[in-house]
Structure 1
Amino acid sequence: MLTDLPDGKAGNKFSKYLIYAIGEIVLVIIGILIALQINNWNINQSNINESSEFVNRLKAEITSNIGFTNEEIKRKENQKRSSLAILKMFNKDITKLSSRTFDSLVNICMANGNMEFKNGTLSEGLNTGKVALIKSDSLKSLLYGLPSLVEEVRIGEKYFNDDLNEYFYPFIYEHISFRQMDAVHSNYAEQIGPSKFSNHNNLNVLNILKFESLIDNIFYNSNIQIDNYLKLKNELENLYELIQEHN
């Protein structure tokens, strides 16, 4: 036993035990620190890989949405041109106007618009915190703000479509012969045949104030939506550029 040894030898042996114990503790601490460092490295590497995979999927989604936005801008530009062409027909002799051209323009003005927009990857990133893993603050800021901008576009689309559905369609159902239009412009012209109201002239609506106001609304709302889509497109293109830099 330690108490049976002379004081000098007992002290030396105790010192050896103490040094050994301290050494063991130091080794354990070093082992823990190394393990923590390795674990942190693994977590960071996992986060980097997960962030990189997410950003690549996000890049593909944004590319698709830029294409969808361009398509909708083209449709709204066509609607804008068509409504303006009809506005220029007012105060003219309708006997000198082409009924076929007029019907075609009205048909274009009738189109409702809801832009296709993919947001599955972005929603996943916002809901799971993957957006927070992105190092670029500028990129994160744009991603966090994108849903609000898309919502602004959707509100504009709803306003445009509601105006068509509640006011424009009821008016043209009453004053314009769809059968005359379809007999000329549709793929089912032979089956439909000519209108039984052959004396009706769709161009007569050019003498009605309400029709002028409705067409003016389509022209005005088309311009508003084009601005909304261009704003969204610009934001998407900025996102794409930042993602390119991030990669």
Structure 2
Amino acid sequence: MINFFRKIRQNLLMENKTGKYFKYAIGEIVLVMIGILLALQVSNWNQDRKDRISERKLLDNIHRDFVHNKVDFDSLKAIHYRALEGLEKLVTLFPLGNDSLKYAAYKKYNLQMEGMTYYPYSGSIESVVNSNALQLIQDEELQKYLVSWKDVFLDYKEDEKVYYDYLTDFLWPYYRDAFDTTGKDTAMNLATRNTIKFQNMIVSRRNYLRGVIKAIEEEPIENHINEIVRLTKPKVE
């Protein structure tokens, strides 16, 4: 093809057709430029296609992780709400005295005292945010949620930590010292549950758990989880 164009130029010069030569040369330059632009367009299209494939893989990984995160967070909420309900009812029973009905209710509500800390899957987001891969994600709203996720999660964990630090540092040590955990010394355990200190410890636990519930309801963590799930969901075409 190059030899073909070269022969045309040589013939035009040999025939002394300078005007036609310049017109031809300009036309050839235009054709070359068009070819370059088409090649660039094809290259850009191909790169964009590769980027969209990479983006979809990233979104699929994040979506999978945050579907799990949503399930875990829903379980966390249910456990904390159930525990708070039990604590609220326990507090209304004080003082227990020697009332057998109150003790039966105490045992029932005490079974609701489960706990759960939140450990979401964050590896997929961290790998995106800490690399240039974030640029592959076109949705600017999603980018904001991904970038702010770590701070939102850590803010929630601070409130959760306050509650579990109370359990670990104060309540459980108190239980070990004040109760016969074998259950053999029922008189001792009964006397402990009728002390003001025990009642105050339960009230404090309730108050700390209220702080966790407040964090769940008022901080943006749940909204972040739901929005990341929504924005990474594959679009139905």
With the length of structure 1 as denominator, give the TM-score of the two structures.
Answer: 0.76
List runs of 5+ in structure 2 lacking aligned partners: 1-12
1:116-127 correspondence to structure 2 within 5 Å: 116-127=119-130
2:155 to 152, 162, 176: 152
Counterpart contact for 1:168–1:214, Cα < 8 Å? yes
1:240 to 195, 208, 229: 229
Q: Aligned AA for 1:31?
A: G
CA offsets per residue over residues 41-92 of structure 1, 9 Å max, x none? 1111112222122222222211111100011112112221222232122123
Counterpart contact for 1:136–1:246, Cα < 8 Å? no
- Would the alpha carbon gap of residues 129 and 209 (structure 1) be closer, same or farther in structure 2, given more than 3 Å must change? farther
Q: How many residues align?
A: 222
- CA distance, structure 1, for counterparts of residue 111 and residue 179 of structure 2: 11
Per mean C-alpha deviation after superposition, the further-off stretch among 43-52 and 84-93 is 84-93
RMSD value, Cα: 2.8
CA offsets per residue over residues 132-154 of structure 1, 9 Å max, x none? 33333222222222221111121
Equivalence for 1:210: 197
CA offsets per residue over residues 94-141 of structure 1, 9 Å max, x none? 3435656645655654x5532131112111221233333333322222
- CA distance, structure 1, for counterparts of residue 111 and residue 162 of structure 2: 19
- Whose relative contact order is higher, 1 or 2, with alpha carbons under 8 Å and at least 6 apart? 1
- CA distance, structure 1, for counterparts of residue 91 and residue 186 of structure 2: 25
Partner of 1:135: helix, strand, or coil? coil
- CA distance, structure 2, for counterparts of residue 81 and residue 95 of structure 1: 21
Identity %: 21
- CA distance, structure 1, for counterparts of residue 182 and residue 193 of structure 2: 19
Q: Does 1:50 align with 2:37?
A: no
Counterpart contact for 1:102–1:203, Cα < 8 Å? no
- CA distance, structure 2, for counterparts of residue 64 and residue 235 of structure 1: 14
- Deviation at residue 28 of structure 1 after TM alignment: 2.5
List runs of 5+ in structure 1 lacking aligned partners: 1-8, 181-194
Partner of 1:118: helix, strand, or coil? coil
Q: Aligned AA for 2:205?
A: I
CA offsets per residue over residues 214-244 of structure 1, 9 Å max, x none? 2122212222222333442233223323334
Per mean C-alpha deviation after superposition, the further-off stretch among 157-166 and 212-221 is 212-221
- CA distance, structure 2, for counterparts of residue 106 and residue 154 of structure 1: 25
1:135 to 131, 134, 138: 138
